[in-house]
Structure 1
């Protein structure tokens, strides 16, 4: 397969567009640059440029990722943390960005998912609770937080 060759400035512009379209983490940008077969110095220069011009900002990426996965997909903190760590975002940074999720929204979402999932379960009460707790842990909610909700119901 023939690869189209680009000039350095064309590649730089493509990477800017890639970052402008949606917040990206360093790992995604580096992966994308592999497609262009650049020498290490050129990759470094582009990465530096993207960071200096604030096209690439790991904290902004983490914050928007956290908001999206919680408010749109209703993921818990553990699942979000694991996905961001997999993308190479430092755990310390992720934890400092969790203030994007308001505690009352977190509790409300957890309660809503618990109630709706619990209702759909069959069997004895303790079996239904057990299935619901497992489900919520799979969604990334913390065991302690789940137990608080279970205790209230």
Structure 2
């Protein structure tokens, strides 16, 4: 027997306020959470509007925080960040604003440090295989191909 807790609009609203206050959220995450709580469409809309009006929910703020975090902590490149934001239905305009959170100097310094550190740890003697492993690693993290290929030429002649 499946006993799913039911929520009043006020209870759900309070729960979502805490959900959004704990960590920046995007609209998609919030609507999914409301859907999972089995809220009817009218209640979902009402709660999302409330969260927007009271600044619990802000796509631009979410995108900026997401960008800073994924770049600083996971060392993701702009392409991966862009892809992940698109998956969360963030608009192109907001993605462009969010990517400005990363300074060019930090971006290139992080890229070079990441590539050099990874190149040292690849225990491959075959230069071609080593190049491929490094390229795969950097592409997976969303770094631009011109940066990746230039760095590989520099590190593995």
Please give the TM-score of this superposition, normalised by the length of structure 2: 0.88
Partner of 1:146: 148
Cα drift, residue 96 of structure 1:
2.2
Which region of structure 1 is more displaced relative to structure 2, 33-42 or 95-104? 33-42
* 1:72 corresponds to: 73
Contact 2:64 2:97 in 1 (8 A): no
Q: Hey, which bits of structure 1, 4+ residues long, moved more than 6 A?
A: none
Aligned residues: 153
1:80 deviation in Å?
A: 1.1
* TM-superposed deviation, 1:124: 4.1
Q: Distance in 2 between matches of 1:7 and 1:101?
A: 41
Q: How does 1:124-139 map to 2 (within 5 A)?
A: 124-139=126-141
Instruction: Give ranges in structure 2 of 5+ residues lacking alignment.
Output: none
Q: Alpha-carbon deviation of 1:40? A: 1.6
Matched, 1:92 2:93: yes
Contact kept? 2:16, 2:30, Cα under 8 Å:
yes
- C-alpha RMSD over aligned residues: 1.6
Unaligned runs of 5+ in 1: none
Asked if structure 1 preserves the Cα contact closer than 8 Å seen for 2:77 and 2:143, the reply is yes
- 1:25-48 alpha-carbon deviations (Å, 9 max, x no partner): 000000000123222221111111
Contact 2:119 2:134 in 1 (8 A): yes
**Does the residue aligned with 2:100 lie in a helix, a strand or coil?**
helix
CA distance in 2, matches of 1:33, 1:39: 9
> What's the CA shift for 1:151?
4.9
Partner of 1:106: 107
